[in-house]
Amino acid sequence: MTVANHHPLRLPPGVDLRGTLEAMAQDDPQLCGFIVCGIGSLESPVLRFGDRDRGVVLTGPQEVITLTGSLTGDGAHLHLVVSDREGRTRGGHLCHGSRVRTTMELLLLCPEGWLLGRERDAATGHLELTISPWPPSHPPLPGSPG
């Protein structure tokens, strides 16, 4: 059975949502994990839609319906769904430059005993999630009891 630490977070107005989360994970490896819930609001968020190279700015205030994804010291893979003032929703990959408008409330789940990272995958060409036991297990030295 895997043990996980839960980290409730609140980010204040004005911060870059993705940049702040990535910086937190770089500074503290214990904050590497999975965002299982995220709600709040953003001012003109930047989303990258599937199979596109660049993000698109959604102008004006947007309510965050949900934010989920993985967060490592090597970067993040975050999916965001937002709603405009008319209730229309848009979703995609969260890009840098998406600033918190009023608040961002998150629950981060960090699996204990695992190191999460990102490495370029030859099959996809993208930085993909890597999962390794932490601390790393090493084979016993010759002649040691185990």
Token pair of 44 as six digits? 């003109």
Per-residue pLDDT at 4: 86
Helix (H, G, I), strand (E, B) or coil at 131: strand
Per-residue pLDDT at 104: 98
What CA–CA distance (Å, rounded) separates 117 from 125? 16
Per-residue pLDDT at 140: 57
Q: In the chain, which stretches have pLDDT less than 70?
A: 1-2, 136-146
CB-hemisphere CA count at 13 Å for 111? Answer: 17
Per-residue pLDDT at 144: 47
Per-residue pLDDT at 51: 85
Specify the pTM: 0.87
Neighbours of 50 (CB within 10 A): 7
Task: Set out the domains of the chain in order of their start, with CATH numbers.
Answer: 4-113 (3.30.1330.80)
Token pair of 62 as six digits? 């947007």
What CA–CA distance (Å, rounded) separates 107 from 125? 30
